[in-house]
Structure 1
Amino acid sequence: MASLQDQLLNAGLIDGKKAKKANKEKRKQANVDRRSKEVKIDEAKAAAEAARAAKIAKDKALNLQREEQAQQKAIAAQIKQLIQNHSKPKLDRDSKTEVEYNFTDGTTIKKMMVSSSVQRQIVNGILTITRLEGAYHLVPTMVADKIAQRDDSFIVITNTAPAQEQEAEDDPYKDYVIPDDLMW
C-alpha cells in the first residue's frame, strides 16, 4: 500500500520538490525530538490516562457501595435469624388468662395480648419487644442487646429492671409510685 504522499504525487496534486521538502522537515523534527532532553507530552495519552484513572476511581466507589449493601444485607439476615431463633413462642394461649400489654412504637400506641407471667417479664426487663417484617416478637434482653449492636431500629421496647433504675433527686413525684401493671 502506498503512502498518502505517494498517492498525492501520482494524482499530480503535489510535485516532487514539495514531497522531498516535507520529508526533510519530518526527519529534522524527529532528530530534534530525539536529541532534546525535553519530554514531549502526548495529549491523547494524557487524556486517556486521566480517563482510565477516573474510571478506576468510579469502579472503586461502586465496589465500596456494593460491599456496604452486602454488609447491610448480611446484618439484616443475622438480625432476622436472631429474632426467629429466640422469639418466645406463643404457647398456651388462653384468652381468659391473657392481659393487654400496651407499648409505644414510635408515636403510635400498640397493644399485645400476653399472659401475666410474660407481662411481668417484659416489665422487669427480661423480655424485649422487637419488630420484624411488620410483626412484633418477644426475645430475651440478652439477644436484644446483640440485635441493638447490629441495628437498633429493630428494637421497639426494652425495659430496665426496677432495681437498676435511678431516681432523680429533684423529681417532685418521686414519692408517688407508678404501678407496673397500669392499663392505659
Structure 2
Amino acid sequence: MNCFVTSPRVWRESGVNVSKSLSDQLQNLGLVDKSKAKKAAHDKRVTKKKKAKSKIPDGPSTHELTAQAMAEAQVKKAEKDRAIEAQRKAKREQAERLAQARDIVKSNGTLAKGDDRKYRFTLDKKIKEFWVSNADFERLAKGLIGVVQMDKRWMLIDPEALIRVRERAPELASFLAAPEVADPDDPYADYQIPDDLDW
C-alpha cells in the first residue's frame, strides 16, 4: 500500500482511523512495529525532559525586574534628596554668613555722609562715587578706613572689620584703598602737594 495519501477519503477507504495518533496509524499500516513506537515515544519524553531541565531562563523574571527597578528608583531618589538637602544647607550657610557680615557692618560701620567731596574708586571695572566729608576723604585715600555697600548705601568701616566682612560675604561690594608706600628713590619726595589742590 502506498504511504503517500493526499486526501482523507483515501484514508477512510484504506480502513485507517484518522482520529488515532500517528504512531498508531503507522502501526496499523504495518510500517512500524510496537517496540519501535514505544522506544520513539520514550526517547521523545526523555529529550523533552532534558530540554526542560537544561533550559536557561531567557532573562530575569518579572518579579526580579520589578524589584531591580524599585531599588534603582530608591537609589535615584536618595541621591536627589541628598542633592536638594545640600543645596538647602548651602543656602542656609550663605544666609547665616550674610547675616553675620551685616551685623559686623552695623556694629562697626557708619553711614558715608557729607557734602564736601566726592570719593571715587573703581570696583569691578566700574567707577563708584559718593559724597563724604573732607576728613573721611583723607582717611579713605590713605586706606585707614574702607567702604562696604549695604542696602544700596555706602558704609565707612575700619579695615579689620572689612576683612571679616569679606571673609563672610565676599559678594558684598567693598573697597579698601591700598596705603601708599613712599618710594625711597622718588626725586620729588621733598616737595609736598598743597592741601588746597584738588585733582
Alignment of structure 1 residues 3-152 onto 2, 5 Å: 42-89=64-111, 95=115, 98-152=116-170
Max radius of gyration: which structure? 2
**Residue equivalent to 1:156:** 174
Q: CA deviation at 1:47?
A: 1.3
Contact 1:100–1:112 at 8 Å: present in 2 too? yes
Q: Secondary structure at the match of 2:69?
A: helix
- Could you tell me the TM-score, scaled by structure 2's length? 0.57
1:106 deviates by: 2.8
CA distance in 1, matches of 2:168, 2:104: 11
SS in 1 for 2:105: helix
| Identity of matched residues, % | 19
User: More displaced, 145-154 or 81-90?
Assistant: 81-90
Q: 1:68 to 1:183 in 2, by over 3 A?
A: farther
How far apart, in 2, do the equivalents of 1:180 and 1:74 lie?
47
C-alpha separation between the residues in 1 aligned to 2:182 and 2:89? 43
Q: 8 Å contact 2:112–2:155 — kept in the other structure?
A: no
Letter in 2 for 1:130: V
**Retained in 1: the 8 A contact 2:149–2:155?**
yes
SS of the aligned residue for 1:154 comes to coil
Unaligned runs of 5+ in 1: 1-31, 33-39
Change (3 A) 1:119 1:149: same
Question: 1:5 is matched with which residue?
Answer: none
Between the aligned partners of 2:135 and 2:111, the Cα distance in structure 1 is 14
Q: Secondary structure at the match of 2:143?
A: coil
Tell me, in whole angstroms, the C-alpha distance in 2 between the residues paired with 1:72 and 1:183: 42
Quick check: 1:144–1:155 contact (8 Å CA) kept in 2?
Answer: no
Residue 15 of structure 1: aligned partner? none
Runs (5+) with no aligned partner, structure 2:
1-52, 54-60
Distance 1:175 1:48, change over 3 A: farther
Letter in 2 for 1:65: Q
Aligned length: 137
- Structure 1 ranges of 4+ moved more than 3 A: 174-184
Output the amino acid matched with 1:113. W
Tell me how far 1:175 sits from its aligned partner.
4.9
